[in-house]
Structure 1
Amino acid sequence: MLTILLIEDDPGDAFLVEELLAGAATPPKIIWARTLSESRDRLTRDVDCVVVDLSLPDATGLEALRQVLTMAPGTAVLVLTGLNDAHMGVEAVAAGAQDYLVKQDVDERLLGRAISYAIERKRADLVQRKLAEAEHLSRENARLEHGLLPVPMLNKELEREGLQHQARYLPGRRQALLAGDFWDTVQTPDGAVHVVIGDVCGHGPDEAALGAALRIAWRTLVLAGHTGTDLLTTLETVLRHERKSPEIFTTLCTMTIEPDLRHARLHVVGHPPPLLVRGGVRDGVVDIVPGTPSGPPLGIFKDVVWSTIELPLGDDWSMLLYTDGLIEATVGGGPDLLGTEGLIRLIRQQGQIDLDRIISSVREMHRHALSDDLAAVLVGRRSPSSAPGSPS
Structure 2
Amino acid sequence: MPQSPIAAGEQHRAAPDPVSARAGDGAIRLLLVEDDDGDAMLVREHLADAGLVVDLTWVRTLDEALDHLDVDCVLLDLGLPDAMGIGALERLLAAGAPAVVVLTGLAGTDAGVQAVATGAQDYLVKGEVDGELLGRSVRYAVQRRQLEHAGRELYRGMVRAEETNRLERALLPTPAVRDSGLHVGVGYRAGRDGLLGGDFYDVVERPDGTVLAMVGDVCGHGPDEAALGATLRTAWRTLVLADVPADAILPLLERVLASERARPEIFTTVSMLAVAPDRASADLYLAGHPVPLLLGSPSTLLPTQSRGRALGIPVSGGWEPHRLELGDRWRILLYTDGILEATVQGGSGRVGKAGLLSLVDAIVASDGEAGPDLLVDRVLHDVRALHGGDLVDDAAVVVVGWRK
Flag structure 1 segments of 5+ consecutive residues without an equivalent: 33-38, 384-392
For 2:138 and 2:45, locate their aligned partners in 1 and report how far apart those are by CA, in whole Å: 17
String of CA shifts for 1:31-69, please: whole Å, max 9, x gaps: 24xxxxxx5x6652533443245899976xxx8998688
> How far 1:15 moved relative to its partner?
5.8
SS in 2 for 1:325: helix
State whether structure 2 residue 60 is matched by structure 1 residue 31. Answer: yes
Q: Which moves more between the two structures, 249-258 or 328-337?
A: 328-337
Residue in 1 aligned with 2:308?
295
> How far 1:174 moved relative to its partner?
3.1
Matched residue count: 356
> How far 1:379 moved relative to its partner?
0.6
SS in 1 for 2:60: strand
Residue in 1 aligned with 2:168?
146
Flag structure 2 segments of 5+ consecutive residues without an equivalent: 1-8, 10-28, 48-52
For 2:306 and 2:68, locate their aligned partners in 1 and report how far apart those are by CA, in whole Å: 63
1:366 to 384, 387, 397: 387
TM-score (norm 1): 0.76
Residue in 2 aligned with 1:386?
none
State whether structure 2 residue 183 is matched by structure 1 residue 164. Answer: yes
2:229 to 211, 214, 220: 211
Q: Residue 255 and residue 77 in structure 1: after superposition, are their counterparts in 2 closer, same or farther (change >3 A)?
A: same
State whether structure 2 residue 31 is matched by structure 1 residue 4. Answer: yes
1:181 to 193, 199, 221: 199
Q: Residue 208 and residue 292 in structure 1: after superposition, are their counterparts in 2 closer, same or farther (change >3 A)?
A: farther
State whether structure 2 residue 198 is matched by structure 1 residue 198. Answer: no
Query: What is the percentage of aligned positions where both structures have the same residue?
Result: 39
Residue in 1 aligned with 2:12?
none
**AA in 1 matched with 2:177:** L
SS in 1 for 2:340: coil
For 2:59 and 2:158, locate their aligned partners in 1 and report how far apart those are by CA, in whole Å: 38
Q: Residue 338 and residue 75 in structure 1: after superposition, are their counterparts in 2 closer, same or farther (change >3 A)?
A: same
Is the 1:75–1:122 Cα contact (8 Å) retained in structure 2?
Answer: no
Residue in 2 aligned with 1:378?
399
**AA in 1 matched with 2:146:** A
Is the 1:332–1:366 Cα contact (8 Å) retained in structure 2?
Answer: yes
String of CA shifts for 1:254-279, please: whole Å, max 9, x gaps: 110000011000111111100012xx
> How far 1:230 moved relative to its partner?
2.1
Residue in 1 aligned with 2:278?
260
Map residues 7-86 of structure 1 onto 2, 5 A cutoff: 12-14=38-40, 16-17=42-43, 28-32=57-61, 44=66, 46-47=68-69, 48=71, 49-52=73-76, 74-80=97-103
Cα RMSD (Å) of the superposition?
Answer: 3.9
> How far 1:365 moved relative to its partner?
0.8
Residue in 2 aligned with 1:35?
none
Q: Residue 361 and residue 99 in structure 1: after superposition, are their counterparts in 2 closer, same or farther (change >3 A)?
A: farther
**AA in 1 matched with 2:223:** P
Q: Which moves more between the two structures, 302-311 or 207-216?
A: 302-311
1:131 to 138, 144, 153: 153
Q: Which moves more between the two structures, 210-219 or 312-321?
A: 210-219
Is the 1:98–1:122 Cα contact (8 Å) retained in structure 2?
Answer: no
> How far 1:340 moved relative to its partner?
1.1
Q: Residue 368 and residue 53 in structure 1: after superposition, are their counterparts in 2 closer, same or farther (change >3 A)?
A: same
> How far 1:374 moved relative to its partner?
0.6
For 1:55 and 1:29, locate their aligned partners in 2 and report how far apart those are by CA, in whole Å: 15
Is the 2:215–2:397 Cα contact (8 Å) retained in structure 1?
Answer: yes
Residue in 2 aligned with 1:275?
293
**AA in 2 matched with 1:97:** Q
1:309 to 319, 322, 327: 322
Is the 1:218–1:235 Cα contact (8 Å) retained in structure 2?
Answer: yes
> How far 1:224 moved relative to its partner?
1.9
For 1:332 and 1:167, locate their aligned partners in 2 and report how far apart those are by CA, in whole Å: 25
